[in-house]
Chain A
Amino acid sequence: MAEAAPAIVLDKVNKWYGAMHVLRDITMNVDQKERVVVCGPSGSGKSTMIRCINRLEQHQQGRIVVDGTELTDDVRALDTIRREVGMVFQSFNLFPHLTILQNCTLAPISVRKMPKAEAEELAMDFLRKVKIPEQANKYPGQLSGGQQQRVAIARALCMKPKIMLFDEPTSALDPEMIKEVLDTMVSLAESGMTMVCVTHEMGFARMVADRVVFMDRGEIVESGTPTRMFEDPQTDRLKLFLSQILRGH
């Protein structure tokens, strides 16, 4: 029973910024080990939705259940969820005053109370997986954008999360660095991680996504498998969006 329960449940979630309605009745389930790609025009509420899942933003109506725990004002529930959900940001957000290794070990040591040696071993494991173990003692400012984003992924993985959220992880990168980050994400997907990923990288979506969700103006307009969504869009809004994306590329 617990095995079958969805990893994330969004049930009629609504959110306003002042008078602006940014999330409208968002209803979506993400199953365990499912990989969901979220796309949509800028300002459509993708970031807001994904940030509601680990409560960087608060929703005002509806229910969000993550890994069996409902998101409420209860601080303990919040702590539990943040421990189980990793997040990667568009702007990396590494801690510039800490070394790469310290960036990775900080949360395991302070949140999971892991002994320092064990945390460092774990961090080096993940840094090897993202292929930059040799940078461990440098500071973020000394790394390229692609390397920083891979460190950010390793940092999130060090908490051994059950779910990973990505908010446009490649949008701030120079073109030649996008591939190295996407490769990292592909291998993460292959390892069976539950992932929700906001991205416009259609190649990535085709390769790893079980489902693509298209958002526009705060609503989920259409969703389906990548092939179905990209080859046979049902709504005019998605058709328009795809034509713009393709023209842009």
Chain B
Amino acid sequence: MTPPASIAIAEAGPAPTRERPPASVYGPFAWVRANLFNGIFSTIVTLVLGVAIAWALYGFLKWGVANAIWSVPTTATGALDPTACRAAHGTGACWAAINDKWRFMLFGRFPYDQQWRAGICIALFIGLFYVSSDRRFWRKELAYIWAATLAVIFTLMWGGVFGLSYVPQDEWGGLPITLILATFGLALAFPLSVLVALGRRSTALPAVKTLCIVYVELIRGVPLIALLFMANVMFPLFMPVGLNPDKLLRAQVAIILFAAAYLAEVVRGGLQALPKGQAEAADALGLTYWQKTLKITLPQALRLVIPPLVNTFIGFFKDTSLVLTIGILDLLTASKTAMADPVWQGVSTEIYIVVAMVYVAFCYTMSSYSRSIERKLDRARNR
């Protein structure tokens, strides 16, 4: 044990003579006994589950590591020879397919020699999320950082300037599409949802209130797939001739409207849960409606609903994959398309596993970030 830690414990503990509790109540053995072998029933459950987990893990490692095919030879014509994979089918994983197809999965039909541009875009998105997650950067300047980064991202994706070749939007695909749809979807749906939630609670503006109720109920009553179809087919009918926003934009608008309706209900739940006295105290102090909302009710309401809010965020991150129904090649669709390659016939589990891991990486990051924020806010208040 390092000296500072022992000092801290000695200061905090009631009995400064003993540095730490005895091993029978503290430490890994005590933990195992208290949590895994705490009585007959718990011991049986632990043993049964332990065996089941070990067995599943053994099977997976045998398939995914021991019997796996990591690469396949190239034939005289320069094509890959998948014979080894076909032979191992069912007993060993064919990671060679991922090795061959990962760029299509990640970037879709983006021109092969230009895919570095899409790769930089992914890195920029991740950098943007990282910077935005740090409270030290929660200032006005962050808005400029966002604007600048998104401008760079779209320049890289589209090209046509600075010597970059033009890449039409229907050639975009893979992870950048997923990130664009999710980032814009949530970044625009969230403020919209706050306005809708406030509108729905407004007593002074009954017309706005009705409008917000109709909006939420209508959108929530329709499946996202139907909304995407409608956006794809019906939207152009209402637009003036010649002004036909591209498919991605149409899907994006549908996702924003859909997400905002759900998020609005989450935000409204938070506003509803606040004691009435908070708004009354703000009123009594003479704060205006917007001062009261921005400084008193909204910050508290949003804090209350961080878990359901992040839950909805995660849900929509994955729901962007529904754009496959209107032929946009997001991460999942691009990967499914990669499976159709006749060379890699029968290789699907491996591809799904990789795609799932990408989704899990993003979603798990979101959820652990939300937990860390909650912890920080709790600590600030109940120290």
Q: Determine whether the beta carbon of B380 is less than 8 Å from that of A139.
A: yes
Per-position 1/0 for A85-118, Cβ under 8 A of B? 1110101011111000000001100110000000
Q: Determine whether the beta carbon of B286 is less than 8 Å from that of A79.
A: yes
Beta-carbon nearest neighbor of B299 in chain A? A97
Please, which residues of chain A bring their CB within 8 A of the CB of B380? 139
Q: Determine whether the beta carbon of B381 is less than 8 Å from that of A97.
A: yes
- The interface size of chain B toward A, counting residues with CB under 8 Å, comes to 22
Q: Which of A134-150 contact B (CB under 8 A)?
A: 139, 141-142
Instruction: Give bound CA distance, A121 to B133, whole Å.
Output: 34
Q: In this complex, which of A89, A110, A139, A155 has the most chain B Cβ atoms within 10 angstroms of its Cβ?
A: A110
Q: Determine whether the beta carbon of A111 is less than 8 Å from that of B300.
A: no
Q: Determine whether the beta carbon of A56 is less than 8 Å from that of B280.
A: yes
**Interface check A159, CB cutoff 8 A:** yes
Please, which residues of chain B bring their CB within 8 A of the CB of A131? none
Q: Determine whether the beta carbon of B381 is less than 8 Å from that of A86.
A: no
**Interface check B28, CB cutoff 8 A:** no
Known A56-B283, A159-B285, A159-B286: A111·B291 in contact at CB below 8 Å: yes
- The interface size of chain A toward B, counting residues with CB under 8 Å, comes to 25
Known A89-B277, A141-B382: A54·B284 in contact at CB below 8 Å: yes
Q: Which of B48-79 contact A (CB under 8 A)?
A: none
Known A93-B280, A93-B281: A111·B382 in contact at CB below 8 Å: no
Please, which residues of chain B bring their CB within 8 A of the CB of A89? 277, 280-281, 284
Instruction: Give bound CA distance, A20 to B341, whole Å.
Output: 76
**Interface check A39, CB cutoff 8 A:** no
- Residue pairs across A and B with CB atoms within 8 Å: the count is 67
**Interface check A24, CB cutoff 8 A:** no
**Interface check B24, CB cutoff 8 A:** no
Instruction: Give bound CA distance, A82 to B281, whole Å.
Output: 11
Q: Determine whether the beta carbon of A56 is less than 8 Å from that of B300.
A: no
Beta-carbon nearest neighbor of B382 in chain A? A141
Instruction: Give bound CA distance, A174 to B284, whole Å.
Output: 25
Please, which residues of chain B bring their CB within 8 A of the CB of A142? 382-383
Instruction: Give bound CA distance, A91 to B275, whole Å.
Output: 10
Query: Would you give the shortest CB distance from A198 to chain B, in whole angstroms?
Result: 14
Instruction: Give bound CA distance, A85 to B284, whole Å.
Output: 8
**Interface check B36, CB cutoff 8 A:** no
Known A82-B285, A83-B286, A111-B287: A93·B278 in contact at CB below 8 Å: yes
Please, which residues of chain B bring their CB within 8 A of the CB of A97? 299-300, 303, 381
**Interface check B208, CB cutoff 8 A:** no
Beta-carbon nearest neighbor of B297 in chain A? A95
Query: Would you give the shortest CB distance from B225 to chain A, in whole angstroms?
Result: 40
- Which one of B284, B288, B295, B381 lies within 8 Å of A96 (CB-CB)? B381
Q: In this complex, which of A56, A79, A85, A86 has the most chain B Cβ atoms within 10 angstroms of its Cβ?
A: A56
**Interface check B324, CB cutoff 8 A:** no
Instruction: Give bound CA distance, A54 to B295, whole Å.
Output: 21
Please, which residues of chain B bring their CB within 8 A of the CB of A110? 287, 291, 295
Instruction: Give bound CA distance, A91 to B281, whole Å.
Output: 10
Q: Determine whether the beta carbon of B283 is less than 8 Å from that of A82.
A: yes
Instruction: Give bound CA distance, A82 to B210, whole Å.
Output: 30
Please, which residues of chain A bring their CB within 8 A of the CB of B150? none
Beta-carbon nearest neighbor of A56 in chain B? B280
Q: Determine whether the beta carbon of B383 is less than 8 Å from that of A156.
A: no
Instruction: Give bound CA distance, A87 to B278, whole Å.
Output: 13
Q: Which of B260-315 contact A (CB under 8 A)?
A: 275, 277-278, 280-288, 291, 295-296, 299-300, 303
Please, which residues of chain B bring their CB within 8 A of the CB of A83? 286
Query: Would you give the shortest CB distance from B167 to chain A, in whole angstroms?
Result: 47
Instruction: Give bound CA distance, A111 to B285, whole Å.
Output: 8
Instruction: Give bound CA distance, A91 to B280, whole Å.
Output: 11
Instruction: Give bound CA distance, A83 to B288, whole Å.
Output: 11
Instruction: Give bound CA distance, A85 to B286, whole Å.
Output: 9
Please, which residues of chain A bring their CB within 8 A of the CB of B278? 93, 95
Q: In this complex, which of A82, A85, A142, A155 has the most chain B Cβ atoms within 10 angstroms of its Cβ?
A: A82
Known A89-B277, A110-B295: A96·B286 in contact at CB below 8 Å: no
Q: Determine whether the beta carbon of A111 is less than 8 Å from that of B381.
A: no
Q: Determine whether the beta carbon of A96 is less than 8 Å from that of B300.
A: yes
Please, which residues of chain A bring their CB within 8 A of the CB of B282? 95
Q: Determine whether the beta carbon of B381 is less than 8 Å from that of A156.
A: no
Known A91-B277, A93-B278, A106-B295: A82·B382 in contact at CB below 8 Å: no
Please, which residues of chain B bring their CB within 8 A of the CB of A82? 283-286
Beta-carbon nearest neighbor of B294 in chain A? A110
Q: Identify the B interface with A (CB < 8 A).
A: 275, 277-278, 280-288, 291, 295-296, 299-300, 303, 380-383
Q: Identify the A interface with B (CB < 8 A).
A: 54, 56, 79, 82-83, 85-87, 89, 91, 93-97, 106-107, 110-111, 139, 141-142, 155-156, 159
Of the A-B pairs whose beta carbons lie under 8 Å apart in the complex, a sample of 5, sorted by A's number, is A56-B284, A96-B381, A107-B287, A110-B295, A111-B287
